[in-house]
Amino acid sequence: MRKIKGFKLVLRPHEVKRRAKKAGLDLETAGLPEPALNKFLERAAKGLVPGVLFDTFSCPDDDQPILSPLPGLAYSLILAGLGDGFAAVREKESSLPDGLWPILTEVALDEAVRFASGIIADEAEKDNCELSPMTTFSEGTALEAVLRKLDGAKLGVTAREGRLAPSASVAVSLSWLAKSKAKGRSK
What pLDDT score does 184 carry? 52
Distance CA 10, CA 5 (A): 14
* CA–CA distances in Å: residue 67 to residues 19, 56, 144, 168: 28, 11, 11, 21
What pLDDT score does 86 carry? 85
| pTM exceeding 0.85 | yes
Give Cα 118 to chain centroid, integer Å: 11
What pLDDT score does 164 carry? 93
Tens digits of pLDDT across the chain (187 residues)? 999 999 999 999 999 999 999 999 999 988 889 899 999 999 999 989 999 999 999 988 899 999 998 888 999 999 999 988 888 888 888 788 889 999 999 999 999 999 999 999 999 999 999 999 999 999 989 999 999 999 999 999 999 888 999 989 999 999 999 987 655 544 4
What pLDDT score does 180 carry? 76
Give Cα 127 to chain centroid, integer Å: 24
* CA–CA distances in Å: residue 97 to residues 27, 33, 60, 133, 177: 9, 14, 47, 33, 43
What pLDDT score does 10 carry? 93
Per the omega criterion (within 30 degrees of 0), is the bond before 166 cis? yes
* CA–CA distances in Å: residue 48 to residues 62, 71, 121, 147, 174: 35, 35, 25, 22, 25
First to last CA, the chain: 43
What pLDDT score does 183 carry? 53
